[in-house]
Amino acid sequence: MMVDTGAMSRAGPIVDRLPEKDDDGGFASGGWKSEDGRLSCGHSSFRGKRVTMEDFYDIKTTKVDDRTVCLFGIFDGHGGSRAAEYLKEHLFDNLMKHPKFLADTKLALSETYQQTDANFLDSERDTFRDDGSTAATAVLVDNHLYVANVGDSRTIISKGGKAIALSEDHKPNRSDERKRIENAGGVVMWAGTWRVGGVLAMSRAFGNRMLKQFVVAEPEIQDQEIDEELELLVLASDGLWDVVPNDDAISLARAEEEPEAAARKLTEAAFTRGSADNITCIVVRFHHDKANPANPDKAADPASVQHG
């Protein structure tokens, strides 16, 4: 377990997810449980048919002003891995340093996404690289869930057994996205699929300096209170969503008690169904009946979570 002690002074230690298994096939998975037993989480990442791995993910939990905060993120790089890696290293730290992180979380998410994009572009200004990345993030502050998205990674939930998307993929042929791009002087062209300038198959991303005027890093954000019907939260790169519909993803995940097993099942299903991309997903299970402090045996300290 890694603890980041460089967090801002009003936050407690930031606990990252536990070390993961990584086998020779480029597959890695791991799990985590909250101390109060309300949440359990699993992640799974698979290089798949790609030669390189450009997906990254981040899972953190901490206390900010005595409020419990959990953060989950999927970052799918394109044209290289540096943008996605930069987001893993900086996005959540930047978010929690935002002065209005708790007071106006949506504003903090929007401004942090765009500022982190600017910081990344500045850090790469003397290189010849022009890679980019998606970001699908879910931030849980106490009992309130905020989902922010840039690009074509996706976040869905299971509520009463029904799959509900909390993000909409940023594709260039989305009518509102196409209008925004064209109003900015860009073009959307068909080149095997719809692409901005005939190059990029998504309409929003971090990085992508050459297309930055059109390919923005402004997130779309949805939020909701956690209630008894909310069972699962699933975030994944498009390596999953290209071949696994939302309903299938929820059905597969609900069949597993442990979220790590659910995450692994999802990545395996995507590969079996022919995904040619990197595949990464995070599954969060909400345990509404286990949040009672009178049942301490149902809570697990993250350091005690075992990986089989």
Q: What is the pLDDT of residues 221-239, one digit of tens each?
A: 999 999 999 999 999 999 9
Rounded Cα distance between 196 and 213, Å, is 11
Is the separation of the CB atoms in 131 and 83 below 8 Å? yes
User: Can you give the pLDDT at residue 114?
Assistant: 98
Is the separation of the CB atoms in 102 and 65 below 8 Å? yes
- CA angle, 116 then 117 then 123, to 5°: 85
User: Average pLDDT, whole number, for the chain?
Assistant: 88
The ranges assigned to domains in the chain are 11-168+216-290, 171-204
Q: What is the pTM of this model?
A: 0.88
Question: In terms of CATH architecture, what is 11-168+216-290?
Answer: 4-Layer Sandwich (3.60)
Q: How far is CA 49 from the centre of its chain?
A: 21
Residues 198-218 pLDDT 10s: 999 999 999 999 999 999 999
Structure tokens at 26: 């480029």
Q: How many residues does the chain have?
A: 308
Residues 125-162 pLDDT 10s: 988 889 999 999 999 999 999 999 999 999 999 999 99
Least confident range of 5-14, 87-96, 255-264, 288-297: 5-14
Residues 251-272 pLDDT 10s: 999 999 999 999 999 999 999 9
Rounded Cα distance between 292 and 257, Å, is 19
Q: Which residues of 51-82 are buried (b: 16+ CB within 10 A; e: fewer)?
A: eebbbbbbbbbbebeeebbbbbbbbbbbbbbb
Of all residues in the chain, what percent carry a pLDDT higher than 70?
Answer: 86
User: Can you give the pLDDT at residue 35?
Assistant: 84
Residues 6-64 pLDDT 10s: 333 345 555 544 444 454 457 899 998 988 889 999 999 999 999 999 999 999 999 99
Burial (Cβ within 10 Å: 0-12, 13-18, ≥19) of residue 228? exposed
> Quick one: which H or E segment has residue 141?
strand 135-141
